[in-house]
Amino acid sequence: MLPELPTLYWYLALARIILVLIPQLGYIHPDEFFQSIEVEAGRAFEVESNIPWEFNTSFPIRSMVIPYFTIGMTYRLANIMDYFTKEYLKFSMITPYLLVVGPRLLMCMLSFLVDFTLYKTCVNNNEKYKTKLVILSSSYVMIVYSTRTFSNTMELVLFALLQYYVCESLIFSNTLIKKREYLNYRYETSRTVVEKVKFHKLRLFLTSDSLRNCWQISLVTVLGFFNRPTFLAFALFPVFFWLYRGIGNKLITPMNYHLRIVALIICSIPVLFFNILVDSFYYGYLTWGEIGVLHITINNFIFTPLNFVKYNIDSSNLAKHGLHPRFLHILINMPLLFNLLAVFAVYGFCQATYNFVRGKHQLLPTVRSIKGLMMLSYLGPLALLSIFPHQEPRFLIPLIIPLVYLYSSMILPESDNVLIKLENTMIKKPKNKVAKASNLYMKLWLVINAILVIFYGFLHQGGVYQAANFLSKDMKFESPRTEYYIVTSHIYSLPESLLLQKSSEKLHHTKITKYAISKRYFLYEEGSSDLDVLVKDIHKIFKRLEDYNKNYKTKKRYKFFLIIPSSLEDQLIYTETDGFKFKKVRSFYPHISTEAFPELAQDLFYFYSNLKLQEIHTSVLYCLSKIFASFGLNVYEIKSQ
């Protein structure tokens, strides 16, 4: 039976699924492709892919357990289905759309575990949940980030599960302690033997809660640690709350604390061993042949989280990915991800600090309360992650769970929380400033998140997927002997697996023969180089291709493309070229590259300086079309002049 939830929540949940299927064109960060899709697509479909350095077999720092059993299994299922569609329906379902949307749909389904755990935590604790679910589901963190193939997305899901199991244990323990205290009191105050026996039997029926959810908490913590070792920062306080349950009560001895630690360690061993075993097989450190001849040493096992820590404690390694000020998470990333929730979190922290300084300890949440757990579950990870100088917004997305739990009612109060004032025995509803402010907060929350969904979901680097899809189709219909030379500039890295070209590093086979193929495309990433440098590099490649065709009898059939933001079109046109020209073949919209953001001020100044009153409508339309055209991604074919 479905729970009674607001209609708005169901609409938002449906929107989360629909936006995945459309699909979202936005490209948040290269890691959403290069730490998941590129790695697994290359293996599952035997296509060319650009596997990053983190997965280098000599020093791997990424565990493949979760990617393999999520994205990898999705692709392997698609491979099985593709066999039948080819055999009986005569078409292949392996397309760039499937490579992107398949894993995202799985992540989207997993993201609803976050909603469910929040709902169950509220129900178990007899709290209102409707507002919390609406605020959670309307956040762009859930709509965009939680449906992408980041390791941070799995960190969010695992953190939600950990919070649920700890909260459930905490609530159960608090209830059980009250029952024990009541039965002990009745037992001690009983006047007859019959009553004492009765309450003694009732005490025996009480379930032990000392190790409640121990195995689940161990499982989630170890999986989270292998997924991202930084998960320990998120798990620290929830695990502490689980260990500390009931300590201080005369019915719970300190021995329980140590017993729980030992139990967690014992329950973690099988999961730990399983993760090490999978990674060792995946990276080739361990083989079935070595197991068969019992030739196994410690060198046959790989512990990827240790490699991760070794790499990241070296500041010179972090400098390669960008060093940030340590206040970036607090001052920039928190407001960027959580906007109003971040503001109310600062207010809540200041209020708690004030109560502590003034000695009003009774107003502070305790270590036995869910509120205390949630408060430390966002303050602790935020403080710990701020120590490291490499800080990206996505590192903080799991914090949405405690923030929504604590502060969602400040944005949208529950409907039955409206104050009613009695005047002259008449019930009146006066103007409620708090209600008006909350209404304003809710509108502001929805507007900000809608803007961020549009920006990160569709605009930011939105043309890259479309360009890859275009190239994939073009390669499919061209002769297999035609080589492709692709230069990209001022955009994120092009995911090579989306081109769906068979791997040149593997031996392919049909029913009757085996064969190898040569690499069909060559990708040149120019980053954010000046256009003069870009054109010089293009000239070198073009000259090499032309010289080959002049010097050899067998001419090379090739296509030469440049992919660059349309905001640079005017500069590109006026850049001098030597022996070749740019022919625009496609433009993809929408696309925003912050590396080449359109110069809107210049366009508006040009429009104003050339504005004529008698042609104002034409001038306005021209200006708008010019601005719109600059938010695109152009594909140029490079040909001889």
pLDDT per position as a tens digit, 258-284: 899 999 999 999 999 999 999 999 999
SS3 content of the chain, % helix, strand, coil (to 5): 65, 10, 30
| Beta carbons of 567 and 597 less than 8 angstroms apart | yes
| pLDDT surpasses 60 at 368 | yes
**Contact residues for 360 (Cβ-Cβ < 8 A; gap 6+):** none
400 and 488 in a single domain? The answer is no
Nearest to 213 by CA among 127, 124, 151: 124
| Same domain for 586 and 493 | yes
Domain that holds residue 556: 463-640
Indicate whether 537 and 615 sit together in one domain.
yes
Model confidence at 419, pLDDT cuts 50, 70, 90, reads very low
**Long-range contacts of the stretch 555-560 (C-beta < 8 A, 24+):** 556/483, 557/479, 557/481, 557/482, 557/483, 558/482, 558/483, 558/484, 558/485, 559/474, 559/478, 559/482, 559/483, 559/484, 559/485, 559/637, 560/485, 560/487, 560/637, 560/638, 560/639
User: Do 572 and 486 have their domain in common?
Assistant: yes
What is the DSSP pairing of strand 580-588 with strand 426-428? unpaired
* Matching residue, tokens 């491979």: 79
Distance between alpha carbon 619 and the CA centroid of its chain, in Å?
43
The stretch 586-592 carries a mean pLDDT of 94
Which segment, 55-59, 146-150, 200-204, 550-554, is predicted with the most confidence on average? Answer: 146-150
431 occurs within a structural domain: no
Are 374 and 480 in the same domain? no
When the pLDDT of each residue in the chain is averaged and rounded to a whole number, the result is 89
Listed residues 382, 404, 426: the one ending a domain: 404
Calculate what percentage of the chain has a pLDDT beyond 70. 92
Q: Which residue has the tokens 């490579």?
A: 99
| C-alpha distance from residue 145 to each of 69, 152, 153, 157, 453 (Å) | 20, 9, 7, 12, 10
593 falls within a domain: yes
Nearest to 40 by CA among 86, 93, 100: 100
| pLDDT (0 to 100) of residue 602 | 66
Q: pLDDT (tens digit, 9 = 90+) per residue, 535-578?
A: 999 999 999 998 888 888 778 899 999 999 999 988 888 887 88
* pLDDT over 90, % of the chain: 63
- The answer to the question of residue 525 being in a domain is yes
Provide the residue type at 598 as one letter. Answer: P
Residues 480 and 568 in one domain: yes
Lowest mean pLDDT among 153-167, 235-249, 406-420, 438-452: 406-420
Work out the burial of residue 207: count CB atoms within 10 Å of its CB; fewer than 13 is exposed, 13-18 middle, 19 or more buried: exposed
Q: Does the residue 29 lie in any domain?
A: no
Q: What local confidence, expressed as pLDDT, does residue 210 receive? A: 83
Which tokens belong to 229?
């070792």
Q: Which residue shows structure tokens 């850049």?
A: 575
Count Cβ atoms below 10 Å from residue 151 Cβ, excluding itself. 19
Contacts with 468 (C-beta within 8 Å, 6 or more apart), sequence order: 96, 494, 495, 498, 499
Domain count, the chain: 2
Last residue of a domain, one of 353, 387, 404: 404
Q: What is the mean pLDDT of residues 618-627?
A: 74
Instruction: Give the integer Cα–Cα distance in Å for 342 and 440.
Output: 17
Indicate if 512 and 599 belong to the same structural domain. yes
Q: Is there a single domain that holds both residue 595 and residue 474? A: yes
467 in the same domain as 400: no
CA atoms of 469 and 456, how far apart (whole Å): 20
The type of residue at 479 is: S
Distance between first and last Cα of the chain? 69
List strand residue ranges (DSSP E) for 458-570, in order: 483-488, 508-509, 514-515, 521-525, 558-565
> Mean pLDDT: which of 193-197, 279-283, 578-582 is highest?
279-283
Question: Which residues lie below 8 Å from residue 70, measured CB to CB, with a gap of 6+?
Answer: 103, 106, 107, 110, 154
Q: Note whether residue 620 is domain-resident.
A: yes
Length of the chain: 641
Is 93 within 8 Å of 82 (Cβ atoms)?
Answer: yes
In a domain, 492, yes or no: yes
Mean pLDDT of 25-49: 93
Q: Are 6 and 130 in contact (CB under 8 A)?
A: yes
Residue 245 buriedness (CB in 10 A; 0-12 / 13-18 / 19+): buried
Nearest alpha carbon to residue 66 among 166, 156, 168: 156
Edge-to-edge strand list for the sheet holding 558-565 = 521-525, 483-488, 558-565, 633-640, 580-588
pLDDT over 60 at 417, yes or no: no
**Is 429 a residue whose pLDDT tops 90?**
no
| Average pLDDT value for residue range 607-633 | 72
Phi, then psi, of 218 in degrees rounded to 5: -65, -45
Q: What confidence category does residue 423 fall into, taking pLDDT thresholds of 50, 70 and 90?
A: very low
Distance CA 223, CA 220 (A): 5
Domain boundary among 404, 431, 447: 404
Neighbours of 627 (CB within 10 A): 14
Q: Are residues 469 and 617 in the same domain?
A: yes
Shared domain check, 500 and 372: no
Decide if 544 is inside a domain: yes
Whether the CA torsion 629, 630, 632, 638 is positive or negative: it is positive
Same domain (yes/no): 483, 616: yes
What are residue 558's DSSP bridge partners?
Answer: 483
pLDDT of 350 reads 93
| 519 within a domain of the structure (yes/no) | yes
* 439 CB burial (10 A radius; 0-12, 13-18, 19+): middle
